[in-house]
């Protein structure tokens, strides 16, 4: 929308108003008896989200439980990773989930299991074992550096990442 702020019902008299000086309490201009919280708009340079399917026109289908449609409108550019690339035009076909119009999307990347270790509804459940390993690793900076090296920095691509996850699952989670 490119508006500078958004009014929010709530937030007033919580400590968020203290720790976030950019959240402000202002009189409602249409009813001065009321004060209302305003928060600055977010305008990311890039939004990245994971969807179900994408087509050559940039149309993407994604879960209606998530806020992909919101973030693509907030960001200047959007990149979608998807489980499947389809040949036709998703905007003209029956589909599952919500349709993110291609006009908001600058790139579609084929990345099966791209939501891992979280779930992609209709494709796979979340990977509780891997999330458990992540939580263990996140306990200290040192163990988290080990996690990053093992799965992110030390892998060439998503395929190698998934292969390491698969092997770790077979041998049991390493803390």
Residues forming contacts to another protein in the complex (CB under 8 A) are 8-16, 19, 33-36, 64-70, 98, 117-119, 121, 126, 128, 131-132, 135
Q: Environment class of residue 65 by beta-carbon count within 10 Å: exposed (0-12), middle (13-18) or buried (19+)? A: exposed
Q: Which is nearer to another protein, 4 or 10 (CB)?
A: 10
Q: Least separation, in Å, of the C-beta of 98 and another protein?
A: 6
Q: State phi, psi for 163 to the nearest 5 degrees.
A: -65, -40
The helix (H) or strand (E) run that includes residue 150 is none
Helix (H, G, I), strand (E, B) or coil at 168: helix
Encoded tokens for 14: 């919580």
Q: Least separation, in Å, of the C-beta of 14 and another protein?
A: 5
Q: Which is nearer to another protein, 85 or 169 (CB)?
A: 169
d(CA 144, CA 6): 36
Q: Which is nearer to another protein, 56 or 143 (CB)?
A: 143
Q: Least separation, in Å, of the C-beta of 104 and another protein?
A: 15
CB 83 within 8 A of CB 60: no
d(CA 159, CA 175): 22
Q: Least separation, in Å, of the C-beta of 11 and another protein?
A: 5
Q: Least separation, in Å, of the C-beta of 136 and another protein?
A: 12
Q: Which is nearer to another protein, 109 or 173 (CB)?
A: 173
The helix (H) or strand (E) run that includes residue 38 is strand 31-40
Q: Which is nearer to another protein, 34 or 56 (CB)?
A: 34
Helix (H, G, I), strand (E, B) or coil at 62: strand
């Amino acid at each position: 929308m490119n508006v500078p702020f958004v009014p929010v019902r709530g937030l007033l008299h919580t400590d968020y108003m203290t720790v976030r000086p950019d959240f402000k309490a202002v009189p409602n201009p249409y009813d001065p008896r009321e004060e209302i919280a305003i928060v600055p708009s977010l305008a990311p340079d890039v939004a990245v989200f994971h969807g179900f399917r994408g087509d050559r026109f940039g149309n993407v289908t994604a879960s209606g439980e998530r806020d992909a449609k919101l973030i693509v409108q907030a960001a200047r550019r959007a990149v979608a990773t998807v489980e499947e690339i389809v040949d036709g035009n998703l905007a003209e076909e029956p589909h599952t989930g919500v349709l993110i119009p291609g006009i908001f999307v600058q790139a579609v990347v084929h990345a099966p299991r791209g939501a891992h270790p979280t779930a992609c509804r209709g494709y796979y459940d979340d990977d509780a074992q891997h999330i458990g390993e992540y939580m263990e690793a996140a306990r200290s900076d040192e163990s988290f550096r080990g996690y990053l090296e093992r799965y992110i920095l030390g892998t060439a691509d998503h395929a190698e990442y998934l292969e390491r996850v698969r092997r770790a699952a077979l041998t049991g989670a390493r803390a």
